[in-house]
Amino acid sequence: MLETLRYLVGSAGASGYGSKSTAEQVTENCRDLHSITAIITGATSGIGAETARVLAKRGARLVLPARNLKAAEDARARILSENPDADIIVMGLDLSSLNSVRNFVSEFESLNLPLNLLINNAGKFALEPAVSEDGIEMTFATNYLGHFLLTKLLLKKMIETAKTSGLQGRIVNVSSSIYKWFSGDMIRYLCEISRNKLRDFDPTRAYALSKLAIVLHTKEVAQRLKQMEANVTVNCVHPGVVRTRLTREREGMVTDIAFFLTSKLLKTIPQAAATTCYVATHPALVNATGKYFSDCNEASTSKLGSNSTEAARLWTASEIMVSRGSKAVFDPLTSAILDYDRKSNSKKRKE
């Protein structure tokens, strides 16, 4: 009850910011970003577009990858109308396609640009069952697996940039508190929805699965970067509830009534982009990694979202999916190996 009240009134937390803070407000005291090159996915509308606008206003060079190039060019034009000197590059990227991700990274590397900041913001909510060209359920493919591969392929560039520039690199993964709605075996459920083995497809559960994967991915990447002693951090954020294009895709009487009843809980887009911008830029978060943030403050994760064994298992499955394809990870033998690894690692942790 107290937390809800604090959210409604916008009380500031330990960071000095709260639910009513905007992206511009949380970046007012950040250092000049003219030396920063940032890639932001999903920046053509909503939270991503506001994130891009504010970071450009603070001086960052932006790379905006998008499936719809016209929408990306329109977003670029809107930013330039406010900040004519902004440095913005538009590139093609379809996150649901692993081949497209590889092509994007290859093209980006050919530009010989540094990379200080990666914001994995793009999201999809598939209402009907659909499978990507790689054989993965579409919501999971777009929200998680595409970003998994994108991050994996760009890590070397980020580590090199941090080393040569002396500036700590940051990765920000946009998740959602809805990840807590998922329970069960992640890999088994992904197999079922990717192979259309369920009688009734639950789009909300599929979305929650993808957002849980993002939370666990953040935890695992942070651990691996620490082991590498890389000067790059990774954190994930819950932006809050806001009516963006993603939620408007679900429009209907029930959705409209739900949004009307919860209207006092909704954030504006500038407020929803605040946590992403805070985690991406604020000097107070130097060396902070593997954390989950909500309303511009660190927050706790669920038991499943904090499970390092599940994070490692998901990483193994993801590596298989991006290297050998979905058939490999959904093969009964591979699934059995993943189950064995989970049980074995869990046993070791108890010992």
Catalytic residues: 207
Neighbours of 145 (CB within 10 A): 27
Say if strands 37-40 and 297-299 run parallel, antiparallel, or are unpaired.
unpaired
For the chain, the distance separating the N- and C-terminal CA atoms, rounded to the nearest angstrom, is 39
Please give the distance of CA 332 from its chain centroid, rounded to a whole number: 30
Nearest to 293 by CA among 219, 241, 239: 239
- How deeply is 323 buried, as exposed, middle or buried, from its count of CB atoms within 10 A (0-12, 13-18, 19+)? exposed
Nearest to 305 by CA among 192, 206, 186, 187: 186
d(CA 283, CA 285): 5
In the numeric block, which tokens belong to residue 247? Answer: 């939620």
d(CA 211, CA 143): 7
Say if strands 297-299 and 292-294 run parallel, antiparallel, or are unpaired.
antiparallel
d(CA 146, CA 322): 9
d(CA 124, CA 246): 7
Helix (H, G, I), strand (E, B) or coil at 37: strand
- 337: which residues sit within 8 A by CB, 6+ positions away? none
In the numeric block, which tokens belong to residue 66? Answer: 């998008």
Cα dihedral 304, 288, 157, 89, rounded to 10, equals: 90
